[in-house]
Amino acid sequence: MKNRYYMITVIALTILSFVMAQDPPDLPGAPNQGPIGGMVWLAIGGVVLAVKKYHSQKTDK
């Protein structure tokens, strides 16, 4: 009899844990993601800088 109560309690608790289980709370929102953009402008800046320098060196000679 004692074993029976024990079994019922264990089963009830197990079932209860399934019923009461919840998903973890969500984040306040999807995280922001920050890739670095606009790098083509930097590359263009570098090309302009290099061309200008080589051009000025050439005219100095």
Partner 1 sequence: MLGFFIKAGVFYISWQIIYDLFLLPNGQLDHFLSVSVAILAKNLLSFLGWNINCAGRLLVIEGYRGVEVLNGCNALTLMALYSGFIIAFKGPLKQRIQYLSVGLLTIYLLNILRIMAFSLATVYFQQHWDTFHEFSPFIFFYPFVLYLWYQWTLVNEKKATPFMSGLFSA
Nearer to partner 1 among residue 5 and residue 37 (C-beta): 37
Q: How far apart are CA 61 and CA 56, in angstroms?
A: 9
**Does 50 contact partner 1 by CB under 8 A?**
yes
User: Scanning the structure block, which residue is given the tokens 């024990």?
Assistant: 6
Q: How far apart are CA 22 and CA 52, in angstroms?
A: 64
**Does 15 contact partner 1 by CB under 8 A?**
no
Six-digit token pair at 13? 């608790």
**Does 24 contact partner 1 by CB under 8 A?**
no
Contact positions vs partner 1 (CB under 8 A): 27-39, 41-43, 45-46, 49-51, 53-55, 57
